[in-house]
Amino acid sequence: MAFLKRVMRVLFARAEFVFDFAFGRANNPLACLGALGWYFFWIVAGTGIYLYIFFDTGIDNAYASVEYITNDQWYAAGVMRSLHRYASDALVVVVLLHIVREFSFDRLRGRRFFAWLTGVPLLWFLYVCGISGYWLVWDQLAQYIAIATSEWLDTLPMFAEPIANNFLNSTTLGNRFFTLMVFIHIFAPLFMLLLMWVHIQRHARAKVNPPKSLAIGTGITLTVLSLVFPAISQGPANLDVVPATVGFDWYYLAAYPLLDVIPGGQLWLILAIVTVLLAVSPWLPPAKLAAVAVVDLDNCNGCARCFEDCPFSAITMQPRTDGTNYDLEAVVNDSNCMSCGICVGACPTATPFRRATAIVPGIELPDHSIAGLRERSLEASGRFNGGPRMLVYACEKCGDALTSDEETQVVTMPCVAMLPPSFVDFALSRNLADGVMLAGCGENDCYYRLGDEWTRQRIAGERDPYLRKRVPRERLRLSWLPPERRRRKALQEFRESLIALDQERDDD
């Protein structure tokens, strides 16, 4: 399993390199799959509401109303129908890519299981919405889907009478059954929207909107596609005649051709097994859970910075319980805490400069203490045997792309945002290194979601805790590269810049 994930990560890294070059990192579609899924859902919902205004829910007039939408009002409702169709297909693509990408980067195990587990029923709702939508057109493709689906459902021992009896001929299908399909197609997306909301509940500041330029570009592309290749019907359905050929939508209907070679009951069993495997994937194998963050009330002043910065809503601020003059205290929800340490990097008491008392911040990770991080920094400084001396603080998820040597010492932690900015000040002001590099996951693709963003803002003085102005920025480098890409070039460029700085200092 680990080998498979590694291969998939390499493939994604190469694909993302191409998209980075073409669109820039901020607009890379592969880095915005979740947000694109929400975007396409809203396009489908909005266009669906517009189309429903002109749609006749009676089976006798459904096809005619769709033809009116497509031909008579092609400039508005016709474009809306095409957008509805292409956005639905795009939604399937980004959802499947999102699943594969999250799996390959192992963002499903341990306490991250919740989003993955709630995503499994979302898949079923997605296909229910899409397949039921094809029924409403009531053309030859809809006829094929209706008969195939009803016969497939009849293989389940749960209906008193075969559903397929409704499609024996043109006299057996009534408006009541067709209205049921309309009801399913309207209310299934509502339940899907509810699940989508649940899906992101453990993610603070979940990004449900893609970057504006990506949204505009994608919207224009879908509109042009709708104008050049409008969605059209395939001739009216006629239950008295079996359609010889139909156009196919493989995005939603890929399972239907299998019914010709696999009995319906066996296909249900296969889908059930796949669903169960997807659901239990976070525990195949189970992750070794790291110790969650702990709060030390003696050093917590209730500033709420850890609460503001936690990417997984694992921290809440509650009334003080120790009788001090502070109003609030931080409380950690063990079920939500991912042990990333981003809260530690936000704590103003997490500083290596403390001398009078022990280095115990208001919140920290038991397995990665701030005192231990200070000691590791000092030990790393003592191992330099050449110059310029580069001290690299790296995320454990991409630390395998970095190696220590005489000029470079690497100190890893769960997430680079765990490092308080004061450590950069400490390393440079105490002459522990000639330069400091902060190396994290790919830009806008932090394993812990917001680590890269918070680190950039702290260094830029836009977010507490700030990096002091006295720290020479030219001796600090931020490196956001995908884990599979070697950082040798970035390190070499940083080394050359430090050499140039030292030469300028010597000349002066």
Asked, for residue 25, whether it belongs to a domain, the answer is no
The 3-class secondary structure across 355-410, one letter per residue, is CCCCCCCCEEECCECHHHHHHHHHHHHHCCCCCCCEEEEEECCCHHHCCCCCCEEE
Cα angle: 422, vertex 424, 425; to 5 degrees: 65
Rounded alpha-carbon distances, angstroms, from residue 100 to 67, 105, 162, 181, 485:
38, 9, 37, 31, 20
Asked, for residue 4, whether it belongs to a domain, the answer is no
Q: Which pLDDT tens digit goes with each residue over 314-326?
A: 999 999 998 888 9
Residue 264, burial from CB neighbour count under 10 angstroms (0-12, 13-18, 19+): middle
Q: Which of these ranges, 85-99, 382-396, 477-491, has the smallest mean pLDDT?
A: 477-491
Residue at which a domain ends, from 250, 283, 316: 283
The answer on 336 and 264 residing in a single domain is no
The C-alpha atoms of residue 416 and residue 432 are separated, in whole angstroms, by 19
The answer on 302 and 253 residing in a single domain is no
Asked, for residue 2, whether it belongs to a domain, the answer is no
Residue at which a domain ends, from 243, 259, 283: 283
Q: Which pLDDT tens digit goes with each residue over 183-233?
A: 889 899 999 999 999 999 999 888 899 999 999 999 999 999 999 999 999
Residue at which a domain ends, from 227, 252, 283: 283
Q: Going by C-beta distance under 8 Å and a sequence separation of 6 or more, which residues neighbour residue 306? A: 293, 315, 330, 343, 344, 346, 347, 362, 363
Greatest Cα-to-Cα distance within the chain, rounded to the nearest angstrom: 97
The C-alpha atoms of residue 506 and residue 508 are separated, in whole angstroms, by 5
Q: Is the pLDDT of residue 377 over 80?
A: yes
The C-alpha atoms of residue 324 and residue 314 are separated, in whole angstroms, by 24
Q: What would the mean pLDDT of 377-387 be, rounded to a whole number?
A: 91
Q: Which two tokens stand for residue 165?
A: 């009896």
The answer on 389 and 255 residing in a single domain is no
| 34-62 exposure pattern, b = at least 16 Cβ within 10 A, e = fewer | bbbbbbbbebbbebbebbeebbebebeeb
Q: Is 444 left (phi over 0), alpha (psi -120 to 50) or beta?
A: left
If we measure between CA atoms, which residue out of 137, 208, 134, 135 comes closest to residue 167? 135
The answer on 268 and 302 residing in a single domain is no
What CATH number is given to the structural domain containing 195? Answer: 1.20.810.10
Mean per-residue pLDDT of the chain: 90
| pLDDT band, very low/low/confident/very high, at 413 (cuts 50, 70, 90) | very high
**Per-residue pLDDT, 486:** 63
The answer on 496 and 425 residing in a single domain is yes
The answer on 111 and 244 residing in a single domain is yes
Asked, for residue 10, whether it belongs to a domain, the answer is no
Q: Which pLDDT tens digit goes with each residue over 255-282?
A: 999 998 999 999 999 999 999 999 999 9
Q: Which two tokens stand for residue 313?
A: 């809503």
Asked, for residue 457, whether it belongs to a domain, the answer is yes
Cis ω on the peptide bond leading into residue 285 (within 30° of 0)? yes
If we measure between CA atoms, which residue out of 476, 465, 452 comes closest to residue 345? 465
Q: What would the mean pLDDT of 97-114 be, rounded to a whole number?
A: 92
Provide the pairing of β-strand 315-319 with 328-332.
antiparallel
The answer on 299 and 229 residing in a single domain is no
Q: CB count, 10 Å around CB of 308?
A: 16
The answer on 228 and 317 residing in a single domain is no
**Per-residue pLDDT, 508:** 63
Q: What would the mean pLDDT of 45-55 be, rounded to a whole number?
A: 94
Q: Is the pLDDT of residue 159 over 80?
A: no
The C-alpha atoms of residue 358 and residue 338 are separated, in whole angstroms, by 26
Asked, for residue 500, whether it belongs to a domain, the answer is yes
**Per-residue pLDDT, 400:** 62
Asked, for residue 22, whether it belongs to a domain, the answer is no
Confidence (pTM): 0.90
Q: Is the pLDDT of residue 483 over 60?
A: no
**Per-residue pLDDT, 492:** 87
Asked, for residue 6, whether it belongs to a domain, the answer is no
Percent with pLDDT over 70 in the chain: 98
Containing domain of residue 215, as a range? 32-283
The answer on 223 and 301 residing in a single domain is no
**Per-residue pLDDT, 485:** 55
Q: How many CA atoms lie within 13 A of 64 on its CB side?
A: 5
Number of domains in the chain: 2
| pLDDT band, very low/low/confident/very high, at 383 (cuts 50, 70, 90) | very high
The answer on 329 and 279 residing in a single domain is no
